[in-house]
Chains A and B, each alone.
Chain A
C-alpha cells in the first residue's frame, strides 16, 4: 500500500464503548498528526508526533488518547465519548515537523457516537 491509510473508515459507537482508530503511513515520514473535522467547521489539530514523541496536545479531552509506537503507526484510543465527538477524524504525515513540508492525509474515519 502507498500513502496514508486509516482503519476503520466508518465507526459507530455508544458512549460507553472503547474503540481505537488506526493510521499507517508508508511514506517514510517522521511526523504524524491527528485532526478532527466537524460539519461546517475548519480542521482542528488534535495531536502531533515527531519521531514517536508527542510534541503537541491541542487541549484535547482525555477521552481521546493517542499512541505512536513507531514513526509509521499512529493510534487514537477512544473511550466514553460524547455525541458531539461525532466527526471525521483525519490522520496526516509529513517528512519533517518544520513548516513548509506538505502534509499527506489519509481518507479519514467517519465516527458516529450514539
Chain B
C-alpha cells in the first residue's frame, strides 16, 4: 500500500526565515513519482514540482528547493527567506506507475503561516 505522511500539521514563521516542510512516503513500487502542491486561501491547488524515483538530484527553483532521499523515503521542501505570500497549505503526493490509475495519494498537508 502507498502512504504519504506530513507530520507537521501547522508551521508558523516570521518573514525572511527559512522553513522546511517534511514529507515521508511509503511504497513497494520501484517506479513512482513525488509531487508538491501549494493550496493558497483561494482553494486552487498549484503544482510546484514532480520528481521520479530514478532521479535523486536535488532541485532549486528560486527560493524553493527540494531534497529527495530514497534511503529515508523522504522528499522535503525548503522555502528560503519566506514571504507572506508563501502562506498556504502545502501537500506532498505520491503516484505509482501502473497500467491504470495514476492516482495521487496525498499527505494530510502542512499549513504554513508566514507573519510579517
Q: Is the CB of A105 within 8 A of B52?
A: no
Q: CA A110 – CA B44 in complex, angstroms?
A: 11
Q: Is the CB of A97 within 8 A of B44?
A: no
Nearest neighbor of B6 in chain A, beta-carbon distance: A42
Q: Is the CB of A99 within 8 A of B43?
A: no
Q: Is the CB of A88 within 8 A of B43?
A: yes
B91 to chain A, nearest CB (A): 7
The range of chain B's interface size is 20 to 34
Q: Tell whether A94 is near chain B: CB-to-CB under 8 Å.
A: yes
Q: B37 contacts which chain A residues (CB < 8 A)?
A: 105
The range of chain A's interface size is 20 to 34
Q: B98 contacts which chain A residues (CB < 8 A)?
A: 98-99
B32 to chain A, nearest CB (A): 7
Q: CA A47 – CA B104 in complex, angstroms?
A: 12
Q: Which B residues fall within an 8 A CB radius of A?
A: 31-33, 35, 37, 42-47, 50, 52, 91, 95-104, 106-109
Q: Is the CB of A96 within 8 A of B44?
A: no
Show 18 residue pairs from A and B whose CB-CB distance is below 8 angstroms, ordered by the A residue: A31-B102, A41-B108, A43-B104, A45-B103, A90-B43, A92-B45, A97-B101, A97-B102, A98-B97, A98-B98, A98-B99, A98-B102, A100-B97, A102-B47, A104-B47, A105-B37, A105-B46, A107-B43
Q: Is the CB of A107 within 8 A of B47?
A: no
Q: Which A residues fall within an 8 A CB radius of B?
A: 31, 41-43, 45, 48, 50, 55-56, 88, 90, 92, 94, 96-108, 110
Nearest neighbor of A104 in chain B, beta-carbon distance: B47
Question: Contacting A108 at CB < 8 Å: which of B44, B104, B108?
Answer: B44
Q: Is the CB of A100 within 8 A of B104?
A: no
Q: A45-B103, A99-B96, A100-B97 are in contact. List 13 more A-B contacts (CB 8 A).
A: A42-B109, A45-B104, A56-B103, A97-B102, A98-B99, A98-B102, A99-B102, A100-B95, A102-B35, A103-B104, A105-B37, A108-B43, A110-B43
Q: CA A31 – CA B101 in complex, angstroms?
A: 10
Beyond A42-B106, A45-B103, A48-B103, whether A103 also contacts B47 by CB under 8 A is yes
Q: Is the CB of A43 within 8 A of B102?
A: no
Nearest neighbor of B31 in chain A, beta-carbon distance: A99
